[in-house]
Each structure stands twice: as structure tokens, then as C-alpha cells.
Amino acid sequence: MTESHLQRVTRVPLLDVNRGNQLDAQAIQDAIQRVNESGRFLFGPDCQQLEQSVAELCHVDHAVGCASGSDALLLALMALGIGPGDEVAVPSFTFFATASAVTRLGARPVFVDIDSDTFNMDPTSLREVVTPAMKAVIPVHLFGQCAAMDAIGAIAQEHDLHVIEDAAQAIGAHYQGRPVGSWGDVACFSFYPTKNLGGFGDGGMMVTGYSSLAEELRLLACHGMKPRYYHSVVGINSRLDSMQAAVLNVKFKRLSEATIKRQANAQRYRELFESAGLGDAIQLPEVADQMDHVWNQYTIRVTEGRRDALRSHLADQDIGSEIYYPVPLHLQECFQQFGYQAGDLPRTELAASQVLSLPIFPELTSAEQEFVVEGIARFFAAERSVAA
């Protein structure tokens, strides 16, 4: 990298949602204005359009909007009849909502170790924890890479388990040519602003190939009410509002383009890291065979206990990074009652101590990526200098 090139970049944020939003700023404003003028703030045509677009993307017949990705998981479990006395297999290396939805219904989360390369649920570990009380499994497509759904699905079929895909970070990803959302009984998406398809607040979506399940999801998301003021079941209030849907419809048109840019950024990182000779210092993320990764996060491993020092160094360089996730779910204080201890899920615990996510958003420039890699290279060069 040339000195003049370096001078053009002085900081790199972990995420810059404004860059992406500015690409469609006028179209977004126009869409919001149309909703404002229509007065249809809930269940409007924008919501229906987004549901149709997501269903088509996932190659399924039905999509149901809701208020958040967390609610999507809760509603999916409710619709499948999960309750007290039931067990649900979940990865421990994921965001809190995957397991909290299970416990909110009085069921027990059974935590499953991960595959070291992909960070996703390990099918072999899943098979080891199946019990007669287990009713469902929630594989998470973490960081934008689909879990091994063929193997997980086979185990689920063998033991009559429902499959709920947590696809919050993986909209548009594929495995063996099939999109996420098409593998399970139901799949759950999040439109939180940091996601690949992010709104201007919270929002979520559930997709399924079963019409009866879609009807149940829609019923439960609106207080169990149909027709108005008649309640056949106790649901919750979880609606995707028309303002969010209008914004997402505009941004949906760029989703494929944004995914291609994320994939290009991931490839450029690999080339830059290999060129810098950092292969011994960090482990780059792996993409499994037949996988179409959409890179919600670009997550490296930093070995030998140097992760936190590197992150501090990057912060000093004004380079954004984040740890997803520093404490595995099975070791969280609020889940102590389930009896897990340190050492129970060794691959998960090792990952939590090593992972560091770097900027990967679509509008990230090559110069900014070079600045990130150079910052990491300086850290390890300084370490080698001290050691010498």
C-alpha cells in the first residue's frame, strides 16, 4: 500500500448504515410519504409486498411479518406448540434471542456445541443431546452462512423434531442450491438495522411452506384475534408496521447487489491477509462446501489469548470491531438453572475467547479494507519486535 493511499483513510467504522441508506434516500422518503398519505400504518400494501418478496426469495409459499426477529422465534415456537416440559436444541454460540424465546414458553433449551470451522450447530453434537422430551431444534445460520441443514434435517426427521431456522443474519444465503428459509418447518428473519436487509428500527418475518402453519403464525401475531375482537387463542401483539415495510421494499431491490459486494469484500480480505503473511497470527473464516455465504459478519479467530489486545489496538487506530459473542449462552447467568458449567461445550467456549468481527458492510472500500489489514499487521509486527 502506498503512503498516499494510507493518508486517504484515517478511520473505518464497523458498520456505516448511512452509506447504504443514502443510495436510496429519495426513494425511501417517497415510500414513507406514500404510507403517510395513505393512513394505512398497519397491514397495508407495503407489508403484503414485502411478505411476497421474501417468500419468493426463500422459495416458499407463505411469509408473515412481525415486529422483530426475536418475536419471530417466539411465534414460531408458539405455533408449533412448544411449552412446559418440552426441550428445544439450540446452539450456545449465538445471540440471546434464540434461547430466550424457548425459556419464555417454559421449555428447556438444550445447548449444542458448534462446528469449529463454520461456527454453526454441529450435527454430531446435536445427535448426542436428543432426548424423548425434545420437540424442536433451532439451527442458527450464523454470520450469514447456512448451517448443515441436510444433516440436521435428517436427525430431526429421525426423531420427529420440528425445525425452526434462525435466519436472522442470513437472508439470501444458500446451501446446496437451496435458500435459507426453505429447509425447516418455519424460518425466522430479522430486519434490525445491522442486518443485510435492515430497516429503520425493529422488524421481522416468518416464512413457511405450510398454509396451516402460516395461518397460525398470523393469528398468534395479532393477539389470537380473528375476526376482530374474537380470540380463539392467546397470542401476542407483534406487527410489522407499514413504514418499516415501505423502507424495506426499497432496500430489498438492492439486496442481491449488496450481497455480491459483501462477498467481494470477504474475498479481498482473504487476499490482503494472505499477502500480509498473517496466516499464522489469525485464522480466517471458512466457507463450507456448496455454501453461498452472505457475510453479515466477517469473523476471524485470534489465537494465544491476543484477541482483546488486538481489539484494543484497533480501537486506538479508529478501526471498528466487535466480539460476537463474548459469553456463550450456556454460561449466561440467567440460564444457570439448567446446570451447565465451563468445559461442557469446549468448541463454543474456545470460539467465544477468540472471535473478532471486522467491517464487511457493502459500501466498504478497498482502501478501508487495506487500512484494517495494515492495522492488524502493525499489531503483530510490534509483538514480534518486542519478542525479539
Per-residue pLDDT, 279: 76
Pick the CATH number of 3-14+255-387 from 3.40.50.2000, 3.40.50.300, 2.40.50.100, 3.90.1150.10: 3.90.1150.10
Are the C-beta atoms of 224 and 75 separated by less than 8 Å? Answer: no
Q: How high is the pLDDT of residue 281?
A: 86
Asked whether the beta carbons of 109 and 88 are under 8 A apart, the reply is yes
Residue type, 279: G
Q: Global pTM? A: 0.95
Q: How many helices (H) and strands (E) does the chain have?
A: 14, 13
Q: How far apart are the first and last CA of the chain?
A: 26
Q: Please provide residue 162's backbone torsions phi and psi, each rounded to the nearest 5 degrees.
A: -70, 150
For the chain, strand residue ranges (E) read 62-66, 87-91, 108-112, 134-137, 162-166, 174-175, 178-179, 186-190, 204-208, 282-283, 291-292, 298-302, 355-358
pLDDT digits (tens, 9 = 90+) for 80-129: 999 999 999 999 999 999 999 999 999 999 999 999 999 999 999 999 99
φ/ψ of 163, rounded to 5, equals: -120, 120
Q: What is the pLDDT of residue 3?
A: 45
What does DSSP assign to residue 143? G
Give start-end residues of each CATH 3.90.1150.10 domain in the chain: 3-14+255-387
Q: Is 262 exposed, middle or buried (0-12, 13-18, 19+ CB in 10 A)?
A: buried
How confident is the model at residue 387, as a pLDDT?
Answer: 64
Which residues of the chain are in CATH 3.40.640.10 domains?
Answer: 22-252
Residue range 294-327, pLDDT digits in tens: 999 999 999 999 999 999 999 999 999 999 999 9
The topology under which CATH files domain 22-252 is: Aspartate Aminotransferase; domain 2 (3.40.640)
- Identify the segments of the chain with pLDDT beneath 70: 1-7, 385-388
DSSP secondary structure string, 288-316?
-TTEE---S-EEEEE-TT-HHHHHHHHHH
DSSP 8-59: T---B-S--HHHHHHTTHHHHHHHHHHHHHHT--BS-HHHHHHHHHHHHHHT
